[in-house]
Amino acid sequence: MIKCSRVALSALAFSVAAFAAADQLYVEYADAAGAYHVGRYTVGLSSLGSTVIGGNIRGLAAGASGTFYVGLNFNTVAKYSDNGTLLASITGGGATVEHDVAYNGSVVYCSYDASGGNGVAQFTSDVAFVNDVGAPGYVSALAAADPGSFYAGVSNTVFRVTDGGSVLSSISASSTTVLHDLAYKGSTVFASLSDGSLNAVARFDANLGFQAQFALGQGNIDALAAGSADGFYAATNDTIFAYDASGNVVSSLSIGAGSRIIDMSYSVGGVPEPASMLALGAGLAFLARSRRARQ
């Protein structure tokens, strides 16, 4: 009896491990006909299915337990299940324009501009309004850090900011550099950028110590996501490229001629990696401000 009990427990443990959720890459794109989708892919870029989203979307963040977040119709943050069911949403005022979305397992972040200026709004996992902090300019890239802070790219500078609006650190590139996207996984930080004819992804350790920069020959980088084993994904037009930790292309996938990839987000075993990023030195201050929940 004791022996049988041990065998049963062992089998149960194996069963749980075998059915643990696998890593996935979420990809937001518009097809050639103009319809918007969120597709899911394995680490090796095999398709796991695609959901049509009824509206204009930009900004994507993998959620927990088979969910994701998007910026919808320019002024709404929406939470969907992987099968396309709308679970929750919140809409800003008529002058609000959403730009990017990030999630760290507890807080949803959304960068925006409005008649009152630029900023980053914060919401619960079910998109109930929590807080709002102002930004010193247009936030072109956004990433969620560990709970309590986020990263925002403004012009050629990346800021690390607490949820309350205090700048913890910042780092600036040359005045001609344009930051496009940020990503984080484990202890590795990625930033996609362009400077003249250079299109590159820079990699840093968790403390923003420089590790490497990879000049990519694929053209302008439209979307970036962390990958497995310190690798990363970069997308141009309709093609996703998977890179290893040395910056070598290991696989690629075209999602369809005429399609346009908008954003990507990596989920580890069904739990989102904070799509996080950079910091160091002192920088411009964000302005914390209390605001009422958006109508």
Which domains, ranges and CATH numbers included, belong to the chain?
Answer: 21-289 (2.120.10.30)
pTM recorded for the entire structure: 0.84
pLDDT attached to residue 95: 64
Q: Mean pLDDT over residues 237-252, rounded? A: 95
Query: How far is it, in rounded angstroms, from Cα 5 to Cα 3?
Result: 5
* Closest among 14, 27, 21 to 237, alpha carbons compared: 27
Banded model confidence at residue 216, pLDDT cuts 50, 70, 90:
very high
pLDDT attached to residue 184: 82
pLDDT attached to residue 60: 95
Supply the DSSP string of 90-148, one letter for each residue: EE--TT-EEEEEEE-SS-EEEEEEETTEEEEEEE-TT--EEEEEE-SS-EEEEEE-STT
Give the 3-state secondary structure of residue 205: strand
Cβ atoms of residues 122 and 104 within 8 Å: no
| Count of Cβ atoms closer than 10 Å to residue 75 Cβ | 18
Q: Mean pLDDT over residues 200-208, rounded? A: 82
Query: How far is it, in rounded angstroms, from Cα 160 to Cα 274?
Result: 13
Rounded to 5°, angle at Cα 71 from 41 and 179: 80
pLDDT cut 90: percent of the chain above it: 55
Q: Mean pLDDT over residues 194-220, rounded? A: 86
Residue 16 has pLDDT above 50, yes or no: no
Q: How far from 67 is each of 39, 82, 89, CA to CA, in Å?
A: 12, 5, 13
Dig out the tokens for 160 from the structure: 């690390």
pLDDT tens-place string over residues 83-139: 999 999 999 876 678 889 999 899 999 999 887 789 999 999 999 999 999 999 999
Residue 41 has pLDDT above 90, yes or no: yes
pLDDT tens-place string over residues 168-186: 888 888 999 999 999 888 7
